[in-house]
Amino acid sequence: MNSAAKRRLASLSELAGLVADGAATTRSAIVGATGLSRAAIAQRVDLLIERGLLVETEPAAADRGRPPLTLDLSDAEIVVAGCDLGATHSRVAVATLSGRVLAERARAIDINAGPEAVLGRVRADLEELLAEAGRPAEHLRAVGIGVPGPVEFASGTVVRPPIMAGWDGCRVPGFFEDRFAIAERAPVLVPVLVDNDVNTMALGEYTHRRDSRHLLYVKVGTGIGCGVISDGLLHRGASGAAGDIGHIQLPGHEEVLCHCGNTGCVEAVASGSAIAAALRAQGIEAGGAADVVRLVSEGQPAARRQVRLAGQRIGEVLASLVSFHNPDTIVIGGILAQLHEDLLADVRAVIYRRALPLATRSLAIETSVLGERAGVMGSVRLAARHLLSVEGMAGIIGDV
């Protein structure tokens, strides 16, 4: 692709992004936002409408004169899919480019069954959901997938995951390339974007919190992880390892061995698995994080004490992150977020005591608004926003 084509695709991507974000939803507003001429904007808008990315809808309200048509993302010919894979669950959704879910399915899985079994089931679910939504396979133009382990984002390869037996080195997109190709334009393949599940959860939560630009999504479940949104963009770091806070060492816990091989990791002393282990040591039956939630909900005193202690330990780590990153919102998600104030009270107390007052002055610390759907909605957004990127535009529009 030559440089002129890249510039034109970048312009189309910018224009579509303005519409998607609601920053400019009429042709006149786009002229004002981009500085391009009306003729240039008309040409670009018409092309995006022709290729099924945009649509002009009912006139917007106007004080006087003829109201302009409003631009929006089209729901007609393009759909995307999102998939959230956890240790014991999968959730798959087919949605429009604007994120409206057309069909969705959740099921129990065992991630340790391996990629062949798990991804084969996901692929079958996608085909069935497309049929349920009444969409032909060629309408599917991108797939986003979140997995519970480290991912090399550029290639979609799982790298040395601690809880995904048999997945190390698995290039996830390869499981879909032979099934989801754009039929009328073969051999163009449907792009499959793969990320760590906490990153997709952060994306999903951010999408539903328009008043937040700097967000930390902290998943507290079997393990502990963090997705980082900085000025509205997901931050993955140099190699995709940003947000791996579960293996930050807590002073005073050097005797506790973590599955990563180090000692004193916050995940080893404050995760759902760690709380369950502490309860078992007291003679209380608790197999994992779900049992911890059940015990606290039943009012079990020892379980409540352990959860509050975990909240304090998590708060110590987050206080340092608040001083470093200065987020406007911290969202606690994962299965332990169901405990709400039993966990949040101590997280908040430690953060407000330890972090700088300027950093906490307008800080909101809340539980997830999407709950267990955060990951799948973030995966949908990952796929949709790829289609609006320069690379995604090239796949839909071609070398313009």
Q: What is the CATH number of the domain that holds 69?
A: 1.10.10.10
How far is residue 87's CA from residue 92's CA, in Å, rounded to a whole number? 15
Residue 186 has pLDDT above 60, yes or no: no
How far is residue 191's CA from residue 111's CA, in Å, rounded to a whole number? 23
% of the chain beyond a pLDDT of 90: 82
- Domain co-membership, 296 together with 227: yes
CA–CA distance from 210 to each of 27, 172, 214, 231 (Å)? 23, 31, 11, 12
205 located within any domain: no
Per the structure, the complete domain to which residue 196 belongs is given by 79-200+375-397
> pLDDT by residue (tens digit) across 201-256?
999 999 998 789 999 999 999 899 999 999 999 999 988 889 999 999 999 999 99
> pLDDT by residue (tens digit) across 171-181?
999 988 766 65
Would you give the end-to-end CA distance of the chain in angstroms?
9
Domain total for the chain? 3
- Domain co-membership, 148 together with 242: no
163 located within any domain: yes
- Domain co-membership, 26 together with 146: no
- Domain co-membership, 162 together with 125: yes
Q: Provide the CATH number for the domain around residue 181.
A: 3.30.420.40
Closest CA to 102 of 79, 122, 125: 79
- Domain co-membership, 329 together with 359: yes
Q: Which of 73, 89, 108 is the last residue of a domain?
A: 73
Residue 168 has pLDDT above 80, yes or no: yes
- Domain co-membership, 227 together with 301: yes
Q: Which pairing describes strands 79-85 and 233-234: parallel, antiparallel, or unpaired?
A: unpaired
Report the half-sphere exposure of 54 (CA within 13 A, side-chain side).
Answer: 30
- Domain co-membership, 361 together with 387: no
> pLDDT by residue (tens digit) across 110-153?
999 999 999 999 999 999 999 999 999 889 999 999 999 999 99
Average pLDDT (272-297) is 95
pTM of the model: 0.91
> pLDDT by residue (tens digit) across 327-382?
999 999 999 999 988 899 999 999 999 999 999 999 999 999 999 999 999 999 99
71 pLDDT band (50/70/90 cuts)? Answer: very high
CA–CA distance from 77 to each of 136, 137, 140, 189 (Å)? 9, 11, 9, 17
